[in-house]
Amino acid sequence: MKEFEDKRRCIRYKAPFCFDCRYPGFREVLSGALKDISFQGACLLVDSQKDLSREEVASLSLIFPETTLDVKAKIVWQKKAGDKNKVGVSFLNLPDSFKDNIYNSVFKHYRKEITSKWWDF
């Protein structure tokens, strides 16, 4: 059996916040929920089975209860997941203030995700 190599460089937090995605070439806005998020990227559960090209840049609106962050992200991978798509994205030029917003939102709404991983920092 082939062993899985974890290539992630940042701690991922399971925080099922919502998002909207504007993808080049699509008229409609894709939406869904975050499977997990870090300061460098996220795994998106997209409510669509449309194929998204790797390396394409998408505009994401990460919708937290207190704020919405508009970010650019490069699509790194995609995998079918039932009637949805799992899409891995890497954030492009994410400002430190946005990283603070991500951390604060996860800490406020999914505190156990932060406290269970404090020793991993």
Task: Kindly tell me if the per-residue pLDDT of 106 is higher than 90.
Answer: yes
CA nearest 68: which of 13, 20, 14, 15?
20
Task: Please report the pLDDT score of residue 2 as a whole number.
Answer: 45
**Runs of H (alpha helix) within the chain:** 96-109, 111-115
CA nearest 59: which of 48, 75, 73?
73
Query: Domains in the chain, start-ordered, CATH in brackets?
Result: 18-98+106-111 (2.40.10.220)
| Mean local confidence (pLDDT), 32-61 | 92
How many contiguous H segments (helices) and E segments (strands) does the chain have?
2, 6
Q: What is the mean pLDDT of the chain?
A: 89
Tens-place pLDDT, residues 80-105: 988 889 999 999 999 999 999 999 99
Task: Kindly tell me if the per-residue pLDDT of 27 is higher than 70.
Answer: yes
Distance, in Å, from the CA atom of 56 to the CA atom of 39, rounded to the nearest integer, reads 19
Tens-place pLDDT, residues 63-72: 999 999 999 9
Task: Please report the pLDDT score of residue 4 as a whole number.
Answer: 42
